[in-house]
Amino acid sequence: MVTLSSSAIDEFKSGLRGQLLLSDSPGFDEARSIWNAMIDRYPVMILRCAGAADVRRGIAFAREHGLPLAIRGGGHNIGGSALCDDGLVLDLSPMKSVRIDPAGLRAYVEPGATLHDFDHEAQAFGLATPLGINSTTGVAGLTLGGGFGWLSRRYGMTVDNLVAADVVTADGEWRRASATSHDDLFWAIRGGGGNFGVVTLFEFALHPVGPLVYGGLVVLPIESAKDALVKYRAAAPGMPDELSVWAVARLAPPLPFLPPDVHGKPVLVFAMCYSGPLENGPAAVESARGFGTPLGEHLGPMPYEMWQQAFDPLLTPGARNYWKSHNLAGIDDGLIDALLHAIDHLPSAQCEIFFGLIGAQTQRVPVDATAYPCRDTLYAMNVHGRWDDARDDERCVAWAREFFEAARPFALGSVYVNFMTQEEGDRVGQAYGSNYERLVAVKNRYDPDNWFRHNQNIRPTL
């Protein structure tokens, strides 16, 4: 553990615009709390950055004093990369500005902004870019790992819509990364995570979306899940790009459109969003409505911004979370059988397994166009273990791992880096595939000493 003199801390603090929190500062424990309650780390200090100048000064201070360095955006990463022990956390959450240029179809987004911050500003002009499915997620972490959501079949991954970024690299230099400036760095940050520097501003392309979309939920009994998933996989290749349908197996939450006796029972939920012309919505989702006889459904026009928040109640902060994930090219019969077995043995009422259908535009981009390489993925599958009591850790983690292993024979062998837990460093090569060596070369250039290592780390070779 590094010992810092009071004079060094005072000098550091005097040059900041943001707030520096030490372990005895009011609000320190709150500032080190993140979405996943399984992560409990104690940094020496937390710098709540007010701008790029604070970021530069924070990086320089960490290097000067040999402090481990962690970068916090939304604090939503499952592996807890937002925090480190005995080091300095650069907390970017105060940097939440989102500026929309409706004429130029551009969004300029600071790294502390959440999906809701972005959507709220963009939807004021009927615009959006593909983001995730939980509005409290940070834009920065989501983007740097690739990013996908309800609009990805139509408009691609989040990184496919990143036009440029301001990046402060390990040497403290500010760089504008784009296709024409530091293009190697620009390539690497589009999926390579926080390995190469701190992004202080993202520039995204925007697309006309909403403000109303058509969609909602269709809930089926688990007894009809196998037949429904067979129909789902058969229908997926013919679905229009504007339609995204995800399948979620879990215990039924107390949704108002479900009979009370269904609440808490195993169900298969099809969540769907159609972003094309609103009048075409009912016809677009009709095939999905026919996957089985529903216990209940709630479909219709709704604000896109509202749909982006629909799953927030199931993903509130403070619970203990453990994920395991595979990328899939299809949903095999054996995988369906393993899924049903897992749902029959749920260790917690909050656990779930989902198949997130992407494909379409996400698969039309060459593998080497961005650091994110998983262009053959049709479904991103995530085993979402979630519970409240630490005494249930072993049982819930074991459940997630057991299904993960049962699903392995039916998977592509790759993984979405944002779904990887903290102990999965051995899967980094699987996350990047044929792009990995090129990422190492960029790491060697911009962070040869591996200061940005509290992440799914791409290790330099220099």
Residues 110-127 have pLDDT tens digits of 999 999 999 999 999 999
pLDDT at 3: 84
What is the rounded average pLDDT of the residues 163-183? 98
Largest Cα–Cα distance of the chain, in whole Å? 70
Structural domains in the chain?
Answer: 6-91 (3.30.43.10), 98-209 (3.30.465.10), 212-419 (3.40.462.20)
pLDDT at 462: 76
Q: pTM of whole model > 0.85?
A: yes
Alpha carbon distance, N-terminus to C-terminus of the chain: 25
Q: Is the pLDDT at 379 greater than 80, yes or no? A: yes
% of the chain beyond a pLDDT of 90: 98
CB 320 within 8 A of CB 36: yes
pLDDT at 216: 97
Q: Is the pLDDT at 220 greater than 90, yes or no? A: yes
What's the one-letter identity of residue 231? K
CB burial class (10 A; 0-12, 13-18, 19+) of residue 316? exposed
Which of 449, 315, 407 has its CA nearest to residue 37? 315
